[in-house]
Structure 1
Amino acid sequence: MLNFYLDDGRRARAEAGAGIFGAVVGVVNAAGWEVRYHGQEADIAGEGYHLVYNRPTEGPFCFSLRRCYLEKYYRIEATNDRWDWEVAGLPFPGKPGQAWFQNYWAERLFRGLTIAQGGYIFMPLQGKLLQRRHFQTASPVEMIRATLAADPARRIVATLHPREVYSEAELEALRGIERFELVTGSLPWLAGCDYVVTQNSSLALTGFFAGKPAVLFARIDFHHIAASVHRLGVAGAFEAVQRVPPYADYLHWFFKKQALCEVGDDSAAQIAARLRAHGWPL
């Protein structure tokens, strides 16, 4: 039995056989499973297997369904923490991919924008600016200082996360930093930057579609072709960010080979294989 924890809108899509939710239900129904629906925030309880949507997992038979950055791409994982997803621990094989995937999404993501090098670093900030969390190598404010020291030639253009609430102490820590500017609107600044520095913002991955290299100060699932401070240290990461990674090959591998797509002739087979890989007896 599958216990599926969804809000009303996603439950309606699942029952209608639509999107990733309907695709998952179709796979388990085909295997003879019953599906029992619960509210998205309901307690994890009862027999069978449990699938939550973008919330922490609980227990050995509970798994997380979460969007994999792009529309229609998802992952089913034993944890909701992206930096501990299975793909994060896989080696990128570096095999030639298909450039059409990068080109197709670059056109969609950056439509109407000019992709260029404007002589600045783009830094999408996230939350808890004064705190170093367990998956980070430095706090966000420490990241700013380290970046300015590592690249004395460029200024930082930064954005605050639109869904975060920042304390006065956090905002005060940003005031008066030389070569540092807070701006609004992310994609135009991303399109025009020389490279990205962030903890693990998904905008770094978006930047790959525009050929923008990235320095990451935190662990994340898409670290493979980034200049990772966790792997290389600060000096090594800022040296590595000057090299050109194989964007097209990596993006094709990361999405088309490692993620689940809710559409396509092989979508059901992909989902079934992923569930079996997690030990689901389908």
Structure 2
Amino acid sequence: MAQARVVRFYLDPPLKRSAERGQHNFLTLVAETLIEAGFRVAYHRDSAEEREKSRGRNGFALFHMAPPTTQRGVTIRRAYHYPFWAIEPQAERWHWHVARSRFNPETLDPALAKRFTEFWRKRLFAGWQARDDGFVYVPLQGRLADHRAFQTCSPIAMLNEVLARDPRPVVATLHPGETYSVAELSALQALVDAHPRLTLASGQMDRFLPACSCVVTQNSSAAFNGYFFEKPTVLFAQVDFHHIAGSVPRDGVDAAFAARKAPLPAYACYLWWYWQHMSINAGHPSAKVRIAQALRRAGWPM
């Protein structure tokens, strides 16, 4: 059966109001692109009730940072910082188009990439000065004792690997937005007690990221930010920005750690490629073209 040319946006209440009033730059561009392609746009709350209804509704669906409920659905999510966005048929970043694409710096203009990266570094990280104070920065996320499907080991086991493989001081930071159990905090404290060169802190990315020698994490966005400061990175989980990092899921733990000592990758070219070529820059004249391309990739009849 042919699908109705209607796209329903499922959004939390503040975002829904902003989109309906045309006050959200990216969602307004998405709506305009769809309307110009002959679709009608409708707005719904992203509630459990509406998500259940979405499964049986005709037409197409768009969700914000949530898995689509139908094969005719997509999710939208920031590509780490405004105004860069992704539109994907799956919510998991490691399944995104950019994650499966090949990065080839030899095809890019390094001077253009350098100007682009310097502009965004100054805009996003004003006052942050890159240096090397000789320590490993390990930004932790949540569920420290769990080994989830997209990870190669639990975060606690990852921290043990770092301590076993790198003799430098290690600073592990708790995510300020996470709530940790007594058992998780006790396991971390046991590591601190066993390893005097391990320090535990909370947040403070602005303090630790510019000053570290390298970043080791599951898939924290802090590692993506570290590319602006040319910080070698080891990733223990699947993610979309793995291309220039040492990736344990892709290469194994030995090769991933060895990559820290390789010549520095083309960080500026990568950031230009990831944001300006593979993402949707909502502030760029190409935004609607990129939106239509992403929806076509998802199988929508644009």
The interval holding the TM-score normalised by the smaller chain is over 0.9
Which stretch shifts more, 68-77 or 234-243? 234-243
In structure 2, how many angstroms separate the alpha carbons of the residues matched to 1:278 and 1:166?
A: 37
Matched with 2:8 is 3
Matched with 1:180 is 198
1:221 equivalent in alignment to 2:247: no
In structure 1, how many angstroms separate the alpha carbons of the residues matched to 2:98 and 2:285?
A: 23
In structure 2, how many angstroms separate the alpha carbons of the residues matched to 1:34 and 1:57?
A: 19
In structure 2, how many angstroms separate the alpha carbons of the residues matched to 1:71 and 1:242?
A: 32
Once the two structures are TM-superposed, the CA of residue 124 in structure 1 deviates from its matched residue by 0.4
Q: Which amino acid aligns with 1:75?
A: A
Q: Which amino acid aligns with 1:106?
A: R
Superimposed CA distance per residue, residues 32-58 of structure 1 (whole angstroms, 9 cap, x where no aligned partner) = 211111102331241100000001112
1:251 equivalent in alignment to 2:271: yes
Q: Which amino acid aligns with 1:7?
A: D
In structure 2, how many angstroms separate the alpha carbons of the residues matched to 1:171 and 1:254?
A: 35
In structure 2, how many angstroms separate the alpha carbons of the residues matched to 1:19 and 1:109?
A: 19
Matched with 1:150 is 165
Asked if 1 retains the 8 angstrom alpha-carbon contact of 2:61 and 2:70, the reply is no
Which stretch shifts more, 41-50 or 71-80? 41-50
1:14 equivalent in alignment to 2:34: no
Identical pairs, percent: 40
In structure 1, how many angstroms separate the alpha carbons of the residues matched to 2:278 and 2:19?
A: 23
Match of 2:85 among 63, 74, 77: 74
Shift >4 Å, 4+ stretches: none
Which stretch shifts more, 226-235 or 114-123? 226-235
Gaps of 5+ in 1: none
Once the two structures are TM-superposed, the CA of residue 106 in structure 1 deviates from its matched residue by 1.6
1:100 equivalent in alignment to 2:100: no
Once the two structures are TM-superposed, the CA of residue 14 in structure 1 deviates from its matched residue by 2.1
Count, aligned residues: 281
In structure 2, how many angstroms separate the alpha carbons of the residues matched to 1:261 and 1:15?
A: 21
TM-score (norm 1): 0.96
Matched with 2:3 is none
Asked if 1 retains the 8 angstrom alpha-carbon contact of 2:20 and 2:43, the reply is no
Gaps of 5+ in 2: 1-5
Secondary structure at the residue paired with 1:175? helix
**Alignment RMSD (CA, Å):** 1.3
Q: Which amino acid aligns with 1:35?
A: V
Matched with 2:225 is 206
In structure 1, how many angstroms separate the alpha carbons of the residues matched to 2:251 and 2:297?
A: 31
Asked if 2 retains the 8 angstrom alpha-carbon contact of 1:13 and 1:22, the reply is no
Once the two structures are TM-superposed, the CA of residue 141 in structure 1 deviates from its matched residue by 0.7
Q: Which amino acid aligns with 2:222?
A: L
Secondary structure at the residue paired with 1:112? coil
1:37 equivalent in alignment to 2:47: no
Matched with 2:182 is 168
In structure 1, how many angstroms separate the alpha carbons of the residues matched to 2:128 and 2:242?
A: 26
Match of 2:95 among 81, 84, 89: 84
Once the two structures are TM-superposed, the CA of residue 187 in structure 1 deviates from its matched residue by 1.8
